[in-house]
């Protein structure tokens, strides 16, 4: 539920985040249910479910809500819907490339809603593959500053199959290939405890820098997409100066 913002330029809007917490929990619960449907309802033998539960814990989702979602998606559970993972691609204001990941039981409805949002919010939805080449699909595992030393994390992560460990302003970020993510995360959790965040997503390899007016419209587009119940994640290749992001955030208060 992020873009290039997952790695840089995160716009913190605490009030809005608090108001949207219930919606975020619903999206995570849907992923947990689907993960439980796709494999064994035991996270020890179901990597997708294990990752979904980790995301839920990172979002401070109550344990009983997690358990209910697993039960609903298990064989004989109350959730009988058949969901599809679908990716949409398009452009936002300022030529910003956008990838939308959805989990839906009605692809026609979701496609129409996503297309309409792009159109109403200054963007345009494109064909599959129209912007994906501007991103790399990677796994990221983040530990906050002070949790573990760079040398210790680097040694264990690389031995486990990680691609790189990088020091950021806030801590240490491990990057992996998607197929190595679960194995690397399991090793790091066993050695250093739970990370602050971890996910598989899209990181831009080419960035666009919209002006302030375009950036404000872009944030509106991304937020509207994220408000859609079927949309799980939104990624963009925007690179916006922090002072511009702060002014946009101040206007939204």
CATH code of the domain containing 11:
1.10.10.200
Asked whether 154 and 160 are in contact (CB, 8 A), the reply is no
Name residue, tokens 């689907």: 34
174 and 61 belong to one structural domain: no
pLDDT of residue 44: 85
244 and 218 belong to one structural domain: yes
Looking at residues 137-163, what average pLDDT do you find? 96
Neighbours of 229 (CB within 10 A): 14
Report the domain count for the chain. 3
Looking at residues 148-175, what average pLDDT do you find? 96
CATH code at position 238: 3.30.70.980
Whole domain around residue 159: which residue ranges?
A: 134-204
Per-residue pLDDT tens over the stretch 92-103: 999 999 999 999
Q: Is residue 104 scored above 80 in pLDDT?
A: yes
pLDDT of residue 6: 39
Global pTM value: 0.86
Looking at residues 38-65, what average pLDDT do you find? 89
Looking at residues 10-23, what average pLDDT do you find? 55
Q: Count Cα atoms within 13 angstroms, Cβ side, for 191.
A: 17
pLDDT of residue 197: 92
Distant-in-sequence, close-in-space partners of 89: CB < 8 Å, separation ≥ 6: 97, 98, 99, 100, 125, 126, 127, 128, 129, 130, 131, 132
Question: Taken in order 184, 180, 167, 55, is the CA torsion positive or negative?
Answer: negative
Q: Is 89 helix (H, G, I), strand (E, B) or coil?
A: strand
Q: What is the mean pLDDT of the chain?
A: 89
Looking at residues 171-180, what average pLDDT do you find? 96
Asked whether 134 and 205 are in contact (CB, 8 A), the reply is yes
165 and 216 belong to one structural domain: no
The whole-angstrom separation of Cα 197 and Cα 55 is: 7
DSSP designation for 99? E
Per-residue pLDDT tens over the stretch 21-44: 788 899 999 999 999 988 788 888
Residue 111 lies in a domain: yes
162 and 37 belong to one structural domain: no
140 and 185 belong to one structural domain: yes
pLDDT of residue 14: 42
Per-residue pLDDT tens over the stretch 196-222: 999 999 999 999 999 999 999 999 999
pLDDT of residue 47: 86
Asked whether 232 and 101 are in contact (CB, 8 A), the reply is yes
Q: Is 199 helix (H, G, I), strand (E, B) or coil?
A: strand
6 or 155, higher pLDDT: 155
């Amino acid at each position: 539920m992020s873009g290039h913002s997952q790695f840089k330029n995160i716009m913190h809007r605490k009030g809005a985040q608090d108001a949207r917490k219930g919606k975020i929990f619903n999206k995570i619960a849907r992923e947990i249910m689907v993960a439980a449907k796709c494999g064994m309802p035991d996270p020890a033998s179901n990597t997708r479910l294990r990752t979904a539960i980790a995301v839920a814990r990172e979002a401070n989702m109550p344990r009983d809500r997690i358990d209910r979602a697993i039960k609903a998606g298990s064989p004989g559970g109350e959730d009988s819907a058949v969901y599809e993972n679908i990716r949409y691609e398009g452009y936002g204001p300022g030529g910003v490339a956008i990838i939308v990941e959805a989990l839906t039981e009605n692809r026609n409805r979701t496609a129409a809603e996503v297309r309409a949002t792009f159109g109403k919010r200054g963007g345009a939805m494109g064909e599959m593959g129209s912007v994906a080449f501007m991103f790399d699909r990677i796994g990221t595992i983040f530990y906050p500053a002070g949790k573990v030393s760079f040398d210790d994390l680097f040694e264990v992560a690389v031995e486990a199959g990680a691609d790189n460990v990088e020091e950021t302003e806030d801590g240490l970020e491990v990057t992996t290939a998607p197929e190595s993510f679960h194995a690397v995360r399991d090793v790091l959790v066993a050695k250093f405890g739970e990370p602050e965040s971890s996910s598989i997503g899209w990181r831009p390899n080419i960035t666009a820098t919209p002006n302030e007016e375009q950036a404000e419209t872009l944030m509106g587009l991304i937020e509207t997409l994220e408000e859609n119940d079927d949309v799980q994640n939104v990624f963009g290749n925007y690179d916006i100066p922090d002072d511009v992001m702060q002014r946009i955030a101040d206007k939204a208060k």
